[in-house]
Amino acid sequence: MTDLASQGATAPLTDSDAAGPRTRRDKPEATPATGFTVWLTGLPSAGKTTIATALAGLLRATGRRVQVLDGDEVRATGSLGLGFSRADRETHVRRVGYAAQRMAARGACVLVPVIAPYAGSRAAVRTRHEAEATPYVEVHVATPVEVCSRRDVKGLYAQQAAGEPTGLTGVDDPYEPPESPDLRLDTRDSTVSACAGRLYAHLMERGLV
């Protein structure tokens, strides 16, 4: 048995195919999957990262290549040195949008849990994707600030209430809610898996999965 065969690369998936047995090797080459970007925008603690992680699991289970571009992670690397002023956030969002589009254009499912508080920079990201004919899905994780501040996953709301940091999105810094996102998720009365499932269903409707 060759190495490839020992990894199951030529094992028949079915023997009932009229054209003869299909092989695992047929799958990726015969139908290269279209990449896309899903941008999850919303307040801190809204549920962006949690839903992105759950969706990543669903997509990986079907064999898709997934890249998650988390705001904190990009800020520690590609956006190192940028803060939370309007100008810095806009630069950061456009930078992440550029990277996302390039990865999606190469077939990845790119999931972006990044606040992106300003409508203008979100529109710029969408426009970049459209210009390159890369599918783009904007999801508003529309959890109200009262709920987010109760969750307070990173303790930021409590810290802000105690005086630092100032300029917390949704509290004393702007968040411009998307007027017409592709999908709006209300996480108040839904489980994480229900939200990820709704998003997956939307991707199916769009023919992306």
Binding-site residue numbers for ATP are 42-49
The residue (of 92 and 134) whose beta carbon lies closer to ligand ADP is 92
Taking each helix axis from N to C end, the angle separating 192-205 and 48-61, rounded to the nearest 10 degrees, works out to 60
Positions that interact with ligand PPS (CB under 6 A): 44-45, 48-49, 71-72, 75, 84, 89, 92-93, 114-117, 154, 156, 165, 167-169, 173
Residues 108-127 that bind ligand ADP (CB under 6 A): 113
Sequence-distant (6+) residues with CB within 8 A of 189 are none
Structural tokens at position 62: 């079907």
Site string for ligand ADP, 70-109 (x = CB under 6 A): ----------------------------------------
Q: Pairing between strand 109-113 and 22-23?
A: unpaired
Element housing 128 (H / E): helix 119-131
The residue (of 33 and 82) whose beta carbon lies closer to ligand ADP is 82
d(CA 158, CA 127) in angstroms, rounded, equals 36
Site string for ligand ADP, 126-165 (x = CB under 6 A): -------------------------x-x------------
> Per CB under 6 A, which region of 94-102, 118-126, 171-179, 186-194 contacts ligand ADP?
186-194
Q: Which of 98, 190, 197, 202 binds ligand ADP (CB under 6 A)?
A: 190
As measured in angstroms, the least distance from the Cβ of 103 to ligand ADP is 20
Strand, helix or coil for residue 94 = helix
As measured in angstroms, the least distance from the Cβ of 2 to ligand ADP is 44
Is 48:151 a contact under the CB 8 Å cutoff?
A: no
Among 96, 144, 146, 137, which residue's Cα sits nearest to residue 116? Answer: 96
The residue (of 134 and 143) whose beta carbon lies closer to ligand ADP is 143
Question: Considering CB distances under 5 to 8 angstroms, the limit depending on partner class, which of ligand ADP, ligand PPS, none binds residue 89?
Answer: ligand PPS
Helical ranges in 62-118 per DSSP H = 71-75, 86-105
Is 106:32 a contact under the CB 8 Å cutoff?
A: no
